[in-house]
Amino acid sequence: MLRTTLIRASESAWLKRQVAGRAMSRRIALRFVAGDTLDEGLAATRALAAQGKSGTLDYLGESVTDATEARVACKAYTEALDRIGEEGLDCGVSVKPTQMGLNVDAGLCRELLGEIVTAAERVGVHVTLDMEGRDVTEATVALVEDLRAAGHTEVGCAVQSYLRRTREDVERLSRAGASLRLCKGAYAEPESVAFRRRAEVDASYAACAEHLLEHGTYPRLATHDDRLIGQARNAAARLGVGRDAFEFQMLYGVRPTLQDALVRDGYRLRVYVPFGEQWYPYFMRRLAERPANLVFFLRALRDT
């Protein structure tokens, strides 16, 4: 209930003005966001590299309402990829299809994603399409298929274990050779399309992870959940999948000690590093994931 309310709040323009306008909110959001600029995103990625972790840069923004905004965001990504190439960083990018104008003009979105994937291929890094709300799930899966059919091999997407359709998407996209990021899912979805009970979401995650480890292409297991990480480690060992044949992924600012422990144990660990000024919806989803984050945030606001 609280989670759903916070996720709905992430879509409110009025609340965005109240929260995002306050310096204290921004300071707290910086726990989860590297900063406003590409330089800050790259600096965070370099710091992670020094700890043995790779990165995926996310230029914050979503649900754009005109083509110009989408083109500006695309340029931010191609610039980021040029810099990644110049610096030789072990860092891919994560892109939201609605930031590339999916809801404005699907053809434009496909064109811009093509530019980003081409720029990524030039510097030899991977592009993951973030998975957003259920209204764009099928379109996102189809975009990956379309880009791959056009010869782009370094593109995949996230899949959400809370969606009932995901098991089939995992099989469908694995057949297309796509490297997938498996996460639980961060949006508010109805029971008709999504599992609502934690046990069901986790069981779906474990089953999809096992399928990816056995049949998928370089699985990217995105979770901070100790139990699911343990199950994935066991499944990989049982299936004889080497520690360099898949990776764990976590969010910037979340469970850094667990990240370090996995690196020490010889696992690959990639951190999702968001940067940019449009941090409000991303930040609200992070609050929704953990009630303690919300309590901390509300106390800080009260005390300013």
Ligand X SMILES: Cc1cc2nc3c(=O)[nH]c(=O)nc-3n(C[C@H](O)[C@H](O)[C@H](O)COP(=O)(O)OP(=O)(O)OC[C@H]3O[C@@H](n4cnc5c(N)ncnc54)[C@H](O)[C@@H]3O)c2cc1C
Catalytic (active-site) positions: 130, 181
Question: Cβ 74 to ligand X, closest distance in Å?
Answer: 18
* Residues 33 and 252: beta-carbon distance below 8 Å: yes
Q: Of 90, 146, 200, 225, which one interacts with ligand X (CB under 6 A)?
A: 225
Q: How many residues bind ligand X (CB under 6 A)?
A: 24
How far is residue 106's CA from residue 97's CA, in Å, rounded to a whole number? 9
Residue 92: CB partners within 8 Å, gap ≥ 6? 54, 55, 56, 57, 120, 125, 126, 127, 128, 270
d(CA 95, CA 181): 13
Are 246 and 236 contacting, i.e. CB atoms less than 8 angstroms apart?
yes
Our finding on whether 131 is near ligand X (CB under 6 A) is: yes
Q: Which residues share a beta bridge with 92? A: 56
Select 143 or 158, whichever has its Cβ closest to ligand X: 158
- 277-296 footprint of ligand X as x/- string (CB under 6 A): ---------x--xx--x---
For ligand X, the binding residue among 222, 235, 262, 269 (CB under 6 A) is 222
Task: Please name the amino acid found at residue 126.
Answer: H
Angstrom distance (rounded) from CA 235 to CA 262: 16
Q: Which of 160, 166, 174, 259 binds ligand X (CB under 6 A)?
A: 160
Supply angle C-alpha 115, 117, 122, rounded to 5: 95
> Minimum distance between the CB of residue 39 and ligand X, rounded to whole angstroms?
22
Give the x/- contact pattern for ligand X in 179-218, rule: CB under 6 A. --x-xxxxx-------------------------------
Q: Which stretch binds ligand X (CB under 6 A): 35-43, 83-91, 100-108, 245-253?
A: 245-253
Residues that bind ligand X (CB under 6 A): 130-131, 158, 160, 181, 183-187, 222-225, 249-251, 254-255, 272, 286, 289-290, 293
